[in-house]
Amino acid sequence: MIIKIPTTELCVYFTIWIFINLYALFKLVNSQSDILGRNDYLKSSLNDLEPGWKLFSRLKDVSDIEWSSWKFYYHIDNMELVRKLPTIALCGGGLWMGLQFHLKYVISYGTTAAFARLDNIEAPPTPRCIARIHVYSQMWRHFDVGLYRFLVRYIYKPSFSIISSYIKLPNIFYKLAASLGTFLFIFMWHGTVWHIFMWSFLNYIGITLEHFGKSISKHNKYIWFKENVLKTEAMETRLIAALCAPLLALSAISNFYLFAGTKVGNLFFETILQVPTFENCILLCVSLYSCCHVSMALEDVPSRKFLKNLGKEHSL
């Protein structure tokens, strides 16, 4: 782990990040209870419920919890009910979708990888937790490692070679053109529907912004700014976290298109454009900024699989 800011400051960011995530999930659960309580038709159909967890004011089913749960999720799928969720609860819903998506692939990839290792086949590592990824390139590089390697080897690099051999442009334009071809393949691979297009398009925009940011960081004017204004690596890290926070928000919303479809993705954009309350803005900005610091600090942390293999090498 490479820490470029004081350890105490990083601990503060980590605590804030954990607290706001838990608070968003709490608001989601609490808001669902409020919506259920205001829905007279749904409440009357669940008349065999009794008080459950007092902390969350949840109801506990006595007999038909499976049917009642399916009925509840059918009603909560209604966009009019989803629109009633407060801003923080809506963010908690997005976080919950992401965690479920991550857990799903950890289990599925982990299971198949375990069988592969029985045949002495080295499988790609399981997905990295999305709650500690703050830029698009890391999401693609560390979530589905097998897909990433396939895309780089068979789509990105051949596209880069073909374009660079026929057209003379700065190197960054070759990268952007190859990335565009890669995301066109991703769009067709996942399905040519609108919410997949939005997900692919926003991902490409995010990757493009990252490329421009990296190019600017190599410019002489930025190097002068770093040496004469920022002066320390800690200040540069804080600046990068502040600049990456909006990119993290865009990354999250793009994934909501993938997780929940067009209507939910549009709802998150509508929430931002309507400008949330001052308190919610502070919570969201601080959460995004803290997440960027945590992600940068944990970026180079090796996986348990890597450490295990390293231990075997030293023991030989």
Residues 283, 275: Cα–Cα separation, whole Å = 13
CA atoms of 110 and 166, how far apart (whole Å): 42
**Distance of alpha carbon 243 from alpha carbon 231, whole angstroms:** 18
Alpha helix stretches (DSSP H) within the chain: 7-38, 40-45, 65-76, 79-82, 87-118, 136-142, 145-151, 157-166, 171-190, 194-217, 220-225, 233-260, 262-273, 278-298, 304-315
The one catalytic residue among 75, 102, 134, 190: 190
190 counts as catalytic: yes
Are 163 and 178 in contact by the 8 Å Cβ rule? The answer is yes
**With contact defined as beta carbons under 8 Å apart, do 250 and 206 qualify?**
yes
Other beta carbons less than 10 A from residue 203's beta carbon: 24
SS3 51: strand
Copy the structure tokens of residue 33.
């209870």
N residues, the chain: 316
Residues 202, 253: contact at Cβ < 8 Å?
Answer: yes
Q: Which residues are known to be catalytic?
A: 190
